[in-house]
Chain A
Amino acid sequence: MKGLFMKDFLILKNQSKTLLMIFAIGIVMSLTFEPASLVFYIGMLGCLLALGTISYDEADHGYAFLFSLPINRKSYVIEKYLFILGSTVVFLAMSLVICGIMTVMGIYDRQNLLEELPSMLLALLMIIIVVCDITIPLRLKYGSEKSRIYLYLLSALCGVAGFVGSKLFPSMGAKFVAGIEQTPVILIVGVIIVFAIVSTFISVKVCEKIIAAKQF
């Protein structure tokens, strides 16, 4: 698995121009946007860049050679999740460093940042885990091009479902927010962690089956 981590790390490293551009835009954003937007932007881009390593594996019949190396298919799936989630955490940490620097420079308000940051990070991690748990199986099953179409369809479906839901149950959103506000924070955090673990476990198992069934 060490070799797989090294391969993905080097693929990311070779995109240094893209990485520099992300941070340059992030720093410019930090001057005008709220910390939440900055952390979301950098965290999400980190996640997407790491997800992109799947496309590099797939390109030019690359899977055939990859699986002739001393790895097994299960370890490939596990490494992919660890690498993508790990990279996202590293990018989030970097965005926090930028927030810290901006706070020291007096651009961000320290009190606001400390109040907003924990819930924001939790929400962001939740979004990223959901994105990964849906995107990775789709990418492995259908490849980069087809999976993109399925993701667009899925997003459109979610949008339509949200719209229809809000029309059918207009007060549901407000009730949900009010309910969350009354729930103890520790319970919310617990539910999110359990959800993330269960969702990722299911997603990993689905991916293992997809990869095990693939023939190259």
Chain B
Amino acid sequence: MLKVKELKKTYPGFELSCDMEVPAGRITGLIGQNGAGKSTLFKTVLQLCYPDSGNIELFGKDLKEITEKDKQDIGVVLAESQFSSYITIEDVIKIMKCFYEAFNEEDFRNKCAQFQLDTHKKIKELSTGMKAKLNVLLALSHKAKILLLDEPTVGLDVLARDDILAMIREYMVEDEERAALISSHISTDLETLCDDFYMIHDGKIILHEETDRLLSDYAIIKVSEEEYEKLDKKYLLKVKKEAFGYRCLSDQREFYMDNYPRLVIERSGIDELIELMLRGESI
């Protein structure tokens, strides 16, 4: 559905350089710190900024050949950007009806009622959480084939985040040909939602992994200095010095479980994975 090949985009002091694929029927996550290049990647795919080199294909077409009609099949949430805050949700409904042939007004109104969004309120009168809900509802309102959601859960409390994630999951289940690229800095969002994820740091993709494999095969091994010396290091990805010795990241949990049954070996969550990928040292 979306292919990014050898993309390069340079700003003073920053270079985005990445390859990525978002196939149909998958929810792909994009994680990284603030300023890692997540939003730049989204904006480049949406042609809001232009790449210096590389190639982006969307719906099997070069990005330059994407028409207004094709753009009807893209559902977008952008961090910090939305419809003018001086119009009401009722106005937004009228505008969406003009922009999107497949806009489902009845379903959108039902969802607004479900999320207690008063359609007569101006956008500027909505809380941060309400605005985030509105943005996601809009992206899901016109049967888009691909969702490009940049930080859709930012500013939301736990319950509201769960609601939004459930809504996205439900939307994806409705049609198995749909695809989604979602960025978030909240790792648990991605753990529960995404089929695979890319980790981006300083404009570069440093890891691409299936979520299932991450949760089953990746492990954090905590060892003393003595234990570390004896440890087979061929499956260690990163190592970080700690007060007690070393914390090691591996993608071969079974190997270490079988060969070092006395060691402390824990499953790795995304948060710890990010931390060790960014702060740990390569072997």
The chain A residues found within 8 Å of chain B, CB to CB, are 2-3, 5-7, 10-11, 14, 56-57, 59-65, 67-72, 75, 215-216
A113 to B85, CA, bound (A): 43
Measured as residues with beta carbon below 8 angstroms from the partner, the interface class of chain B is 20 to 34
Q: Is chain A's interface secondary structure helix, strand, loop, or mixed overall?
A: helix
Chain B residues closer than 8 Å to A71, beta-carbon distance: 68, 71, 99
Q: Are A60 and B82 in contact (CB under 8 A)?
A: yes
Chain A residues closer than 8 Å to B94, beta-carbon distance: 6, 10
* B136 touches A (CB below 8 Å): no
* B48 touches A (CB below 8 Å): yes
Q: Are B81 and A70 in contact (CB under 8 A)?
A: no
Q: How far is the CB of B77 from chain A (nearest CB, A)?
A: 9
B49, B86, B98, B100: which contacts A11 (Cβ < 8 A)?
A: B86
Contact residues, B64-92 vs A (CB, 8 A)? 68-69, 71-72, 74, 76, 78, 80-88, 91
B46, B48, B84, B99: which contacts A59 (Cβ < 8 A)?
A: B84
Other 5 A-B pairs with CB < 8 A, given A3-B98, A7-B84:
A11-B84, A61-B80, A71-B71, A215-B50, A216-B81
8 A-B pairs with CB atoms under 8 Å apart are A14-B87, A61-B80, A65-B76, A69-B71, A70-B69, A71-B99, A215-B43, A216-B43
Q: Are A14 and B48 in contact (CB under 8 A)?
A: no
The chain B residues found within 8 Å of chain A, CB to CB, are 43, 46-50, 68-69, 71-72, 74, 76, 78, 80-88, 91, 94-96, 98-100, 122
A57 to B87, CA, bound (A): 11
CB contact under 8 A between A70 and B48, given known A14-B91, A64-B43: no
Chain A residues closer than 8 Å to B85, beta-carbon distance: 59-60
Chain A residues closer than 8 Å to B47, beta-carbon distance: 67
Pick from B80, B95, B96 the residue with the most CB of A within 10 Å. B95
CB contact under 8 A between A64 and B87, given known A3-B98, A10-B95: no
CB contact under 8 A between A6 and B43, given known A11-B87, A56-B84, A65-B76: no
B50, B78, B84, B98: which contacts A68 (Cβ < 8 A)?
A: B78
Pick from A7, A64, A71 the residue with the most CB of B within 10 Å. A64
